[in-house]
A = this chain, B = another copy of it.
Amino acid sequence: MDDLACDCLRLRGGTLELLDQRLLPGCEQWLPCPDIDSVIAAIQGLAVRGAPAIGVSAALALGCLAERGVDLARFREQAARLRAARPTAVNLMHLVDRLLARADQDQGLAAIPALARAAFDEDVALCEAMADHGAALIADGMRVLTHCNTGGLATVGLGTALGVIRRAHSLGRAVQVWVDETRPLLQGARLTAWELGRAGIPYRLISDSMAASLMAAGQVDQVWVGADRIAANGDAANKIGTYSLAVLAHHHGIPFHVVAPSTTLDLACADGHAIPIEERDPAEVRGFAGSAGALAWAPAGCPVYNPAFDVTPAALIDAWVLESGVYTREQVAAGALAGRPTPLG
């Protein structure tokens, strides 16, 4: 496959390399992933995260694998392992399934590298379209609040929710961003703050529990988040803490927007109850580990509950921004998402 590059991944000489996001913002280090095992480890360890970025990483890894001349049986076996690396974000499953379907159809792997490359190009285009649609909703001077990281590190393009905010900024609108630090893994403090600083967009970092009092003080005009999986009825799984924000936004009458490409839709899930929620290592809550070192501040071995995601019901979401446009709660309740074809689908 030809070399390519974006903020979070690159192809060099037929090998996938991932920017190791566990080390950001302290250290920018590229992690070579010469085989599927290393990609699975990178996905599970969160060297790469963000539903679209995980999906495209997997597609490119399979493109490289196909190019290395493995047989169809081996390809299928490796693809199945990669597909199961993380349970909640559905883009991974969708993109792997797309490549597997083509391999089965062709009874061969000749088309796989180009199809993987197309997944990369597609994600860039999806981000552009979402940014266009979403930015139209952000007026000059607005103060927006976001959670986790949904920018150029979570996708291979401009981003989902953060892409919308970046587009509004680049259109010349004065936007101020409240950044939830996003415990336990601090993607907001480490990644979103880093991206916004590099883009020159005004922001202030807060602990997650501070959002409510900002809302009560009239300091938040809109909330913008991404999604890891959206059910047919509009219920959206996203980083833990998203549901909390949705309830708070609802209480304060603040519009709550979800931005995701149609590759994040899972029409096989009728509603959010069908979305599996990953539970992760208690050590993530007992402390923090990053490029600057590791600390455990809770008592050793203390019992922990650590769900990586939560589900926001459609009733708390005011708008879904997809590459095909903005959908209201009424449209989604009437089945608008259930009728959307996936791109290239």
Q: Which residues of A contact B (CB under 8 A)?
A: 25-26, 178, 180-184, 186, 189-190, 193-194, 197, 202-214, 216, 240-241, 243-244, 247-248, 250-251, 285-288, 290, 292-299, 302-307, 310-311
Contacts and interface: CB of A to CB of B under 8 A. Distances in A.
Nearest to A147: B209
B248 A205 contact: no
A203 B305 contact: no
B212 A247 contact: yes
18 contacts: A182-B209, A183-B207, A183-B208, A189-B286, A193-B298, A207-B241, A207-B306, A210-B240, A210-B310, A212-B241, A212-B247, A212-B310, A213-B307, A213-B311, A288-B297, A292-B295, A292-B296, A294-B295
B244 A209 contact: yes
A307 to B, nearest CB: 6
A207 to B, nearest CB: 4
A64 to B, nearest CB: 32
Task: Specify which of A186, A299, A305, A310 lies most central, judged by the most chain B CB atoms within 10 Å of its CB.
Answer: A299
Contacts of A296: 292
Given A216-B243, A286-B189, A293-B293, A298 B209 contact: no
A202 to B, nearest CB: 8
Given A214-B305, A251-B247, A285-B181, A209 B240 contact: yes
Contacts of A214: 305
A189 B288 contact: no
